[in-house]
Amino acid sequence: MTRLCSFRNFVLLEYKTDDEVTSVFNRLGKLKSKNHDLYHDDQKVGEYYTAIDFSEKYIKLSMITIYKEFRGNGYADMFMNQLVDAADELQMRIALTPSNDFGASKSRLTSWYRRYDFVPNSGRNKDFTVRETMIRKPK
């Protein structure tokens, strides 16, 4: 089974067997950050910025932006559901830091991320391998 996490052109990781996943982790180590466009029905609705660290097995989500004219249609939820599903399947953590950048509300973002089982990266949940303030462990 080939696994693609994609709205249009972003592939989180493509593989067919568990051995291929292990091989990819061993070969790649760390993947550079990249900005990606978000599409729905061939319409660009936003963008996001990720970095994938295969050696530490985590995805850093730096930004999700849905353009104003497309907000309220569930596109960010669609993206996050795909990202969470792929991370769970690959047993990778997702780390991020909500902020007021790009016109967002940090408190609203924090609440939204909690719906996807993100927790503060502090106290008993502290993961010292990442700097981000919220983390989600795979299920």
Segment 78-92 shows an average pLDDT of: 86
Q: Which structure tokens are listed for 114?
A: 């909690």
Segment 81-100 shows an average pLDDT of: 88
Is 61 in contact with 97 (CB distance < 8 Å)? no
- Is residue 122 assigned to a domain? yes
- Residue 28: pLDDT band (50, 70, 90) is very low
pLDDT of the residue at 69: 95
pLDDT of the residue at 93: 93
pLDDT of the residue at 37: 80
- Is residue 10 assigned to a domain? no
- Is residue 12 assigned to a domain? no
**CATH for 125:** 3.40.630.30
- Is residue 101 assigned to a domain? yes
Is 93 in contact with 136 (CB distance < 8 Å)? yes
The parent domain of residue 66 ranges over: 18-136
- Is residue 44 assigned to a domain? yes
Which pTM was predicted?
0.76
- Residue 135: pLDDT band (50, 70, 90) is very high
- Residue 20: pLDDT band (50, 70, 90) is low
Segment 8-31 shows an average pLDDT of: 46
Residue 5 pLDDT greater than 60, yes or no: no
- Structural domains counted in the chain: 1
Please give the Cα distance from 111 to 115 (Å, whole number).
7
Residue 137's nearest CA partner among 125, 122, 123, 124 is 125
Residue 2 pLDDT greater than 50, yes or no: no
- One-letter amino acid at 136 equals R
